[in-house]
Amino acid sequence: MSQLQDNFGRKFHYLRMSVTDVCNFKCSYCLPDGYRPDGKPGFLSLDEISHLVGAFAEAGTRKVRITGGEPTLRKDFSDIIRVIADTKTINTIACTTNGYRLEKHAREWFDAGLRRINVSVDSLDPRMFYQITGENRFDEVMRGVNAALEAGFERVKINAVLLKNLNDQDLPRFLHWIKHTPLDLRFIELMETGLGRDYFQAHHLPGSSIRDRLLAEGWSLDPRGAEDGPAQNFSHPDYQGRIGLIMPYEKHFCDSCNRLRVSARGKLHLCLFTEGGLELRDLLQSAEQRPELIARLERQLLLKRETHLLHQGFTGVTQHLASIGG
Ligand SMILES: Nc1nc2c(ncn2[C@@H]2O[C@H](COP(=O)(O)OP(=O)(O)OP(=O)(O)O)[C@@H](O)[C@H]2O)c(=O)[nH]1
Ligand SMILES: C[S@@+](CC[C@H](N)C(=O)[O-])C[C@H]1O[C@@H](n2cnc3c(N)ncnc32)[C@H](O)[C@@H]1O
Ligand code: SF4
Ligand code: SF4
């Protein structure tokens, strides 16, 4: 069994696969004007997804996260889950969603094989939620989170992007929520994208401000597991939930990078912030192409940089994270 690795000793057992660029929300930090079709070819088909996941699995991938755009907008979303679940040696199937279809479909997706779900909830104040996401659907999304908790997922995670002057007063509400609810909260530092330096400068808030408050209130940093990615995780004996921080501007953030990304049109991205993606689609047309596809992945990994270059203001081709799945 092969294992994808780079020149810095990092192993890649986690694929973040985008299945669509389309989204029905207008998050101010991501798609402030909503999704605009670009007239390019369509998104990966079920067969192409099956070939892709099969090759990654053979190259050592154990976890697949389905993302987008909004992945649940795909009519064949449950089929996508099933195709991955049918792939031997993939042991974790996760997805990241804005949660708008969750209330209705949580059980169906669980039955198809989905085991972890991340729901983006940027504020627990419905008006602020509307202001940030452009959608007045707070109650609907929260009912979706409850449906996910009831459906039996092994992990339900809440993603919130930290935004100065928007949701920076929300921490007490989030803490209150996870006191008796077994949710993982994930606070993500705003990352600069091609969309705009002005927004970044107005709203970026370092995750260290949250970390300092957590440590002062009795939370402790969990030891890092061998399979863990770049988040720092915290727990507290009085809370059922846990908290993770993604702080991409901190030193050594990329040391534990364990993930690769494939865009909805089949391009491999070695980092969230790269110059361009490598075309894989020509090798997703039949199972016989698998050895060639794996060889291409192995070669490309040797080009992976040690770290992103965000500090120098280099945001790569990533106009917004919806185009690459975050
Ligand atoms: N810079 C950077 N940001 C990341 C990375 N992984 C996740 N993020 C950020 O965190 C956001 C939320 O990620 P999710 O899709 O919910 O996945 P996650 O919780 O980080 O992933 P798991 O490690 O699978 O739990 C992403 O959309 C990115 O904004 C990474 O490797 N590098
Ligand atoms: C691109 S979205 C795709 C999945 C789904 N539509 C959702 O919102 O959960 C994945 C994650 O990226 C995060 N994200 C988007 N733009 C970001 C940015 N500029 N900085 C940090 N996180 C961002 C979102 O908050 C979301 O949790
Ligand atoms: S963060 Fe997710 S829900 Fe919000 S606009 Fe981007 S893709 Fe859509
Ligand atoms: S910024 Fe790039 S290299 Fe760093 S952890 Fe994220 S994907 Fe990996």
Q: What is the pLDDT of residue 230?
A: 84
CA-based nearest residue to 115, from 79, 188, 65: 65
Which positions ≥6 away from 216 have C-beta within 8 Å? none
Please identify which residue in the block is written with the tokens 């370092």: 206
**CB crowding 244-282: b at 16 or more within 10 Å, else e:** bbbbbbbeebbeebbbbbbbbbbbbbbbbbbeebbebbe
Residue 157 annotated as lining a ligand binding site: yes
96 annotated binding-site participant: yes
Tell me the ligand closest to 229's alpha carbon: 1
Q: Could you tell me which CATH class the domain 14-323 is placed in?
A: alpha beta
E-only strand ranges, the chain: 14-18, 63-67, 92-97, 116-120, 155-162, 184-189, 220-221, 232-235, 242-246, 259-262, 267-269, 278-279
Q: Taking each helix axis from N to C terminus, what angle separates 77-85 and 46-58, rounded to the nearest 10 degrees?
A: 30
Strand bridging mode 184-189 / 155-162: parallel
Torsion, Cα 246 249 253 255, to 10 degrees, reads: 150
Determine phi and psi for 63, rounding to 5 degrees: -130, 135
Q: Which two tokens stand for residue 45?
A: 């088909």
On whether ipTM exceeds 0.90, the answer is: yes
95 assigned binding-site residue: no
Distance 292 CA to ligand 3 centre (A): 34
Testing ligand 2's pocket by substitution, the residue of 188, 205, 269, 319 carrying the most ligand atoms inside 8 A of its CB is 188
- Distance, CA of 64 to CA of 260 (rounded, Å): 10
Rounded to the nearest angstrom, the distance between the alpha carbon of 93 and the centre of ligand 3 is 20
For residues 296 and 308, what is the distance between their CA atoms, to the nearest angstrom? 22
> For the chain, what are the domain ranges?
14-323
Give the torsion sign (CA, 162, 165, 168, 170). Answer: negative
pLDDT tens readout for residues 222-239 = 998 877 888 899 999 999
The finding on whether 30 has its CB within 6 A of some atom of ligand 3 is yes
Q: Which long-range contacts (CB under 8 A, 24 or more apart) does 215-220 make?
A: 219/243
Alpha carbons 52 and 47: distance in angstroms, whole number: 9
pLDDT at 22: 96
pTM of the predicted model over 0.95: yes
Place of tokens 């009831």: 150
Ligand nearest to the CA of 314: 4
Q: How many helices (H) and strands (E) does the chain have?
A: 9, 12
In the numeric block, the tokens 């939930």 are attached to: 241
pLDDT at 276: 82
CA distances from 176 to 6, 24, 124, 168, 239 (A): 41, 29, 11, 15, 9
Give Dmax over CA atoms of the chain in angstroms.
Answer: 56
Between the alpha carbon of residue 66 and those of residues 2, 142, 240, 269, the distances in Å are 23, 21, 26, 15
Atom of ligand 2 nearest to the CA of 23: 6
> Which ranges of the chain have pLDDT less than 70?
1
Task: Tell which residue, 45, 41, 61, has the closest CA to residue 53.
Answer: 61
Dihedral of alpha carbons 32, 34, 36, 40, sign: positive
